[in-house]
Homo-oligomer: A and B are copies of this chain.
Amino acid sequence: MKNFYPLLKKMPLFNGIKENELSGLLECLSAKTKKFDKTATVLMAGDVSSFVGVVLSGAVQVVKEDFLGNRTILAKLEAGELFGEAFACGKNHILPVNVYTVEKSEILMINYRKMITTCTSSCVFHNKLIENMLGILADKNQMLNQKIEILSRRSTREKLIAYLTAQAQKAGNASFMIPFNRQELADYLCVDRSAMTNEIRKLREEGVLQVERNHFELLHHN
């Protein structure tokens, strides 16, 4: 376990907790590590789970299956990434997704009740952990909200404008770079790439924005 401490130390969940304080904390949490084969099921849809999972090594896939049997890969999580936190901390503990390993993996399982029940020895790191968890959920909330705001728009054009507006706001500047290439941007906006590129051209022709590769500039023209 000790060899994972440097990894844990870098995680937002253990932010502010020193490497030499981790062992006490993990014991206090009764955190257990579990080993999985290359192709194993970590959690199944319908399972009741009150654990926060941390990928220590290997990688897992979060997969959603609808009633027609269509599979959608929602995420691939690698070492240092978290899963199941919303179902551990929320009222509903029933998972709507499957979690499979795609490599030989080790997973750290942290029990939710142990996490929120501060220990008798009034362990300061414990409080820090809860604060970190709160922050992680809040940050995710912000991200998800921003994405919903974009996906709520009906047309590709409106989605683009919503996204670019948010990016400009984030950059604090009407001129900014985006972290996606065209295909990735189209995937994020859930639209067709060619239709999106077309829309970008139109917006440029209309003088709404300037574009060069990943660099965008919104042009205000009252």
Contacts and interface: CB of A to CB of B under 8 A. Distances in A.
Given A130-B134, A148-B151, A190-B154, A142 B64 contact: no
Size range of the chain A interface in the assembly: 35 or more
A64 B96 contact: no
A86 B174 CA distance: 25
Nearest to A113: B131
Contact of A138 (B86, B146, B151): B86
A166 interface: yes
A144 interface: yes
Contacts of A153: 190
Copies in the complex: 2
Contacts of A168: 67
Interface string A151-165: 111100000011001
A190 B127 contact: no
Contacts of A149: 64, 74
Contacts of A142: 86-87, 90, 92
A107 interface: no
Given A137-B138, A144-B144, A166 B68 contact: no
A189 to B, nearest CB: 10
A32 interface: no
Contact of A116 (B66, B122, B134): B134
Given A96-B169, A190-B151, A89 B144 contact: no
Given A90-B138, A118-B118, 7 more contacts: A66-B161, A87-B138, A89-B137, A90-B141, A96-B169, A148-B148, A148-B151
23 contacts: A67-B168, A67-B174, A67-B218, A67-B220, A68-B161, A86-B138, A88-B138, A89-B137, A89-B138, A90-B135, A90-B138, A90-B141, A91-B135, A91-B138, A96-B166, A118-B127, A134-B134, A134-B137, A137-B138, A144-B144, A151-B151, A153-B190, A154-B190
Would you list the 9 A-B pairs with minimal beta carbon distance, nearest first? A90-B138, A89-B138, A151-B151, A144-B144, A137-B137, A86-B141, A90-B139, A86-B138, A66-B165
